[in-house]
Each structure stands twice: as structure tokens, then as C-alpha cells.
Amino acid sequence: MLTRSCLALKGASARLSQSAVRSMSSGLKPEYEFIKAEVNGNAGLITLNRPKALNALCDGLLKDLIHAARAFDNDDNVGAIVITGSEKAFAAGADIKEMATREYIEVYTKNLFESWTEVTKITKPTIAAVSGFALGGGCELAMMCDIMIASESAKFGQPEITLGVIPGCGGTQRLIRAVGKSKAMEMVLTGNMIDAHQAERDGLVCKVVPNDKLIETALKMANKIASFSRPAVAMAKETVNSAYELNLAEGVRFERRIFHSMFSTEDQKEGMAAFVGKRPAKWAHK
């Protein structure tokens, strides 16, 4: 006869096995060297995993991250993706040891950091769940995500000036769009960090939560997003991001045309019929 503890262990093992099966079916690798990746409900969770280096963003970590993000992007059962690190560090920056001895011709011909932009090409919403340090490339990676949630311990900064360089992964461009010119200039030119609450006041993050609620909050948001029509979510993400590239008149026109196009989808018909019929919608994701 199985004891209660044995039954609990058996149940946990079964849940773990189901999670492993779902992760494998997502096109993920069985194991990654520098990250962990798993499915939680209808959300993909990617955890940066270089604890001794405070999740410094080496070439291998970026390759692992992009592979997992693409796998989740291609998984019909995943509707949103959470990227996180450890409690001590989301990512303390790019791997300086890896870069320190490189020469100009090498970084130029290899177009160093160009591959990082692949994170911004993921079509499903991405949520950065930030605890601890998000500095340099770590801050830039978080800004590449669509939504940023911070724990109370989070600290953000672009300290590249202290190394004799400038941000190279979009820091000077995305930071100004998030917090404005004056604050961005201060952070880039002084290397000063801001804490989570300052980041929320400045508009860099959408909310600040207790450290022990960060992943729960991010996954809850991701699963809520995943509960809606996939085409509608993808179109909403594309339309909001277009504001970075278009003037107001063109942006509003683009938004209107995308709205018009949604009347060709099954989910628009279902969503409005469900509202009129006062019932939950059953999305076909078409």
C-alpha cells in the first residue's frame, strides 16, 4: 500500500513527466547549457542559468535563448513567453571576459550583437521578469521584451561608459523611448543605476512586485495573454511596436487597417458573437 508521501511523490513525478513531454513537443532541446526552458500552462518560461557569472550574456547563452524562444514561438500551445534570471541577477551584462581581447575587424566582420535582435523578431508577446541586476546587455535584453515586470530587488543600468565603450545592443535607442532623453542621457553618461520603483516611475517597467511573487505574476500575465485569440494578440503586438517606426498619422492609419483586416478572422466573429450571446468565447486561433 502506498503511503501518502509516496502518492504525493508519484503525483509530482507524473506532473514533471507531463511538463517534460510538453517541453519536448515544443521543439526545445532536452537540455541547454546556459538556460532552462519549460512550459507552464500556455506560457513558455526561459530562465537564464549562468549563476556563477551572474547570467552574463555570452555567445552560448544567447544561442540557447534564441533557440528556445523560437521553439516557443512555433509551438501552437504557447501563447506568450517569460524570460527571467535568478533572484540575484536577471543578467549582469554582456560577457566582458569574452569581449575584452577582441579586435575591431573581428567585431565588425562578425557584426557583434546583431544576432541579439532575433529576440525582437519573436511574434508572440515576451515578458521580462527582472530580479537583481539588469545591467548593460541585461538591461538591453529586458528592453527587447514587450513587457517588463520587476521585483523589488531589481536594479537597472547602462554602465558601459565605465568600461570605455557605449551600449551596443540598442541601449541608447530603446532607453530614450522608455524614459525620455534626459534620464537616458544620465544613465548612459554616468553609468548610474536606478532601482525598481524608480524604473516604474520612469516608465521602464509596468509594475513592481515582491521578490517571491515575480515569476508567479509574470506567468499569470503570460497565461492571461495566451487565453486570447493568437492572431489578435500578434496583431496587437505588431501594431503597438509600429509606433516606434511611424509618425502618428501613419501609425493610426496602420492601426485602422489592421483592425479592418481582423474582420476576416474566425476569432473576430466568435469574439463578438460570444459578447452578444453573453458567453465565453471559444477561440479557433484563426
What are the chain's domains?
Answer: 10-226 (3.90.226.10), 230-277 (1.10.12.10)
Average pLDDT over residues 18-23: 54
State mean pLDDT over 50-65: 95
**Lowest-confidence region among 8-12, 191-195, 219-223:** 8-12
CA-to-CA distance for 279 and 228, rounded, in angstroms?
A: 14
Q: Which grid cell sits at 97?
A: 571576459
CB 267 within 8 A of CB 283: yes
User: pLDDT tier at 88 (50, 70, 90 boundaries)?
Assistant: very high
Q: Provide the residue type at 52 as one letter.
A: K
Q: Please indicate whether residue 160 is annotated as part of the active site.
A: yes
Query: Which residues make Cβ contacts (< 8 Å) with residue 10, sequence separation at least 6?
Result: 2
The string of pLDDT tens digits covering residues 151-182 is: 999 999 999 999 999 999 999 999 999 999 99
Q: Which of 85, 129, 136, 140 is catalytic?
A: 140
User: What grid cell was written down for 188?
Assistant: 548612459
| Ramachandran class of 132: left when φ > 0, alpha when ψ lies in -120 to 50, beta otherwise | left
- As a whole number of angstroms, the distance between CA 210 and CA 212 comes to 6
Q: 116 or 193: which carries more pLDDT confidence?
A: 193
Q: Report d(CA 34, CA 31) in Å as an integer.
A: 9
Among 37, 53, 89, 94, the one annotated catalytic: 94
pLDDT tens per residue across span 230-277: 999 999 999 999 998 999 999 999 999 999 999 999 999 999 999 999
Res. 12: pLDDT tops 50: no
Rounded mean pLDDT of 189-193? 97
Angle at 238 between CA 235 and CA 240, to 5 degrees: 105
pLDDT band for 6, please (50, 70, 90 cuts). very low
Cβ atoms 172, 188 nearer than 8 A: yes
Angle (deg, nearest 10), helices 137-144 and 171-179: 60
Cell triple for 186: 544620465
Catalytic residue, from 138, 142, 160, 184: name it.
Answer: 160
Set 132, 137, 170, 271: catalytic member: 137
How far is it, in rounded angstroms, from Cα 191 to Cα 165? 11
Is this prediction's pTM over 0.75? yes
Mean pLDDT of 195-213: 97
Asked if pLDDT for residue 13 goes beyond 60, the answer is no
**Spatial contact of 50 and 61, defined as CB atoms under 8 Å apart:** yes
**CA neighbor of 193 nearest in space, from 113, 127, 132, 116:** 132
Query: Residue 192, Cα to own-chain centre: how many angstroms?
Result: 24
pLDDT tens digits for range 104-147: 999 899 888 888 889 999 999 999 999 999 999 999 999 999 99
pLDDT at 168: 92
Q: Which residue has the higher pLDDT, 11 or 247?
A: 247
Q: What is the mean pLDDT of residues 23-31?
A: 76
What is the spatial distance between Cα 216 and Cα 237, in angstroms, rounded to a whole number?
22
C-beta separation of 245 from 154 below 8 A = no
